[in-house]
Amino acid sequence: MSAKAGGDSTETTVAGTKDTLAARTSGNGPDPSIREGLAGVVIAQSEICKVDGERGTLSFRGYDIGELACHSTFEETSYLLFYGELPTAAELKAFSARLIGERAIDDTIWRILSVLPETVEPMEALRTCVSALCSIDCEDDDTSEANTEKSIRLVAKVPTIVAAYYRHKQGLSPIDPDPELGHAANFLYMLSGEQPTEMQAGSMDLAMLLMAEHGFNASTFSARVTAATLSDIYSAVTTAIGTLKGPLHGGANRRAMQMMLDIGSVDNVEPYITAALDRKERIMGFGHRVYKTAPDPRSAYLRGRLYELCAELGDFHYYDLATAIAETVEARKGLYPNVDFYAGPLLYLLGVPLEVFIPVFAISRIPGWTAHVMEQYARNRLIRPLATYVGPDNRPYQAIDQR
Ligand SMILES: CC(C)(COP(=O)(O)OP(=O)(O)OC[C@H]1O[C@@H](n2cnc3c(N)ncnc32)[C@H](O)[C@@H]1OP(=O)(O)O)[C@@H](O)C(=O)NCCC(=O)NCCS
């Protein structure tokens, strides 16, 4: 039962969730000093990622996302996020070999996956398994070197867990990682059992690289909150996975793709979007907390890659459909596509099943999360904000038989 504050208890429904105005108003309406959702609040200094929402630019460790998208790989970008510098050829070779060497998962994880109820979603399975990895990792050291090693293990093992669980749910046996394949190509291979083409592997690699890091987004922030209590890195990543799962964060890529499937054809875009906006629904894959005045820079690279993939397939249906939706939503609401929008059809055309879309985001974001957790440990202060209490005061306690 919720206690009511003074004033109206107006309720607004947004995207299926209830946001109770009564819970955040004090008598005369919202308190302007409260930054709801922490919007615009700077809470730390960070050397990992620069997001300029006004200009629509993004860089990792000082390297523009466009440079990385055109020239780097997921492995190299992960190294950059961990160590702050681009690797030499020898360093990259050794780092990639470390990742390959850590891909296998322990029997305990297989057993956990096999006893989960059938209704468990892949993100829930992943959250459970990452939590379990903590007790399997025998390194109880918490130096920055040990945490980097744990981060490498997480980057390497999470794709194996996701692919294994997906196949288990389909009644298929798991596929062992292929040490000859790069990180992205190996993930596609472990999902389907088929060697991806160069275009498919490159497209997956690009999608993962673009999603690898993005400043103090909700899941990264939640990981840092956990790390700031000096809890372990696995707990912090488990927290992040639980946060990413929500439809306003990682869940948007799957919903954006589902929307494209529901719309079906370019002719249906206008009536579908108009009806959804008239119902005050949110269009998944659009809008962003930080990129308000300029597009999310990641979406242009994903759109370009979607075009190339469609060209290779000789079928531009999803490119045309996505473009028509983007143009309509921008014209009607002034909202730009975010990273999730073009990632949807790209993953779909790569054969990634819809239920694995959010886990792909998690696989990609492990380097970002863990780099932030290590940065948090390096200059830690407990994260503990305040709230203005707007509930009732001075209530006399009534004995149970008098209520
Ligand atoms: C990302 C997101 C949560 C950012 O939210 P935010 O910064 O808190 O912005 P708000 O929720 O305050 O929205 C501001 C306004 O834009 C509207 N809006 C924002 N995103 C919208 C969307 N995708 N579709 C329709 N309207 C949207 C809101 O309804 C609100 O309108 P109002 O002022 O008339 O009520 C939001 O844009 C969203 O829900 N997008 C869809 C989910 C998504 O794609 N998430 C992935 C993010 S990478």
Which atom of ligand 1 lies nearest, measured to the CA of 286?
A: 23
Reference 140, options 237, 233, 238; nearest CA is: 233
Report the 10 Å Cβ neighbour count for 164: 24
Q: What percent of the chain has pLDDT over 70?
A: 93
How distant, in Å, are the alpha carbons of 158, 233, 359 from that of 364?
Answer: 9, 17, 8
What is the C-alpha separation between 250 and 56, in angstroms, rounded?
Answer: 20
End-to-end CA distance of the chain: 14
Q: What are the chain's domains?
A: 65-245+355-378 (1.10.580.10), 252-349 (1.10.230.10)
Q: What is the pLDDT of residues 188-227, one digit of tens each?
A: 999 999 999 999 999 999 999 999 999 999 999 999 999 9
What is the C-alpha separation between 47 and 82, in angstroms, rounded?
Answer: 11
**CB contact at 8 A, 351 and 265:** no
What is the 312 CA–ligand 1 centroid distance (Å)?
34
H or E element, residue 197 = none
Ligand 1 in reach of 252 Cβ (< 6 A): yes
Residue for token pair 């990632």: 343
- Classified as helix, coil or strand, 383 is coil
Catalytic residue among 137, 183, 205, 249: 249
pLDDT of residue 3: 31
Ligand 1 in reach of 117 Cβ (< 6 A): no
Is residue 71 flagged as an active site residue?
no
Average pLDDT, the chain: 92
128 Cα distance to chain centroid: 17
pTM for the full predicted model: 0.90
Is residue 288 flagged as an active site residue?
yes
Ligand 1 in reach of 40 Cβ (< 6 A): no
